Amino acid sequence: MPDLAAARQAKSRIMDSVLSAVDTRHVAGIGLRQQDDGWVVRVNLREDDDNTRRKIPSEIEGVPVVVEVTGSIRAHAVSGTVLQVQPAEPSSPRHRHLRLWLAVALLVVAAGAATTLAVML
């Protein structure tokens, strides 16, 4: 059961080895994820590529490595706070509608928080 310190060290190692061995166009990011039995290093791929998968070890320094295809990832921020992470490419008209509703909901929440703050001041 790898602890957080071991996972961080493994992540540093895998960042050096993976990013130098694979076509970085396929790698969306490398991070850590906690599971029931400890921590794992997670390698996010923009697209499924067998050649890239073969170059990523299943374990490094006793820490499991999980590969997942996430697509491109783009963080959206409001006042420096990350609110959501979504695929960069629009996937369907339904998803565009969901993103629109989410944007409206975030604006309503932000407006409510600003109103509450103004009343408190």
Mean pLDDT of the chain: 76
Residue 39: its pLDDT value, please? 93
Residue 65: its pLDDT value, please? 93
Amino acid, single-letter form, for residue 97: H
CA distance 25 to 72: 10
Domain layout of the chain by residue ranges: 4-71, 74-120
Spell out the residues 6+ positions from residue 53 whose beta carbon is closer than 8 angstroms to its own. 45, 67
Q: Assign domain 4-71 to its CATH architecture.
A: 2-Layer Sandwich (3.30)
For the stretch 25-65, pLDDT in tens is 888 888 899 988 899 999 988 888 888 888 889 999 999 99
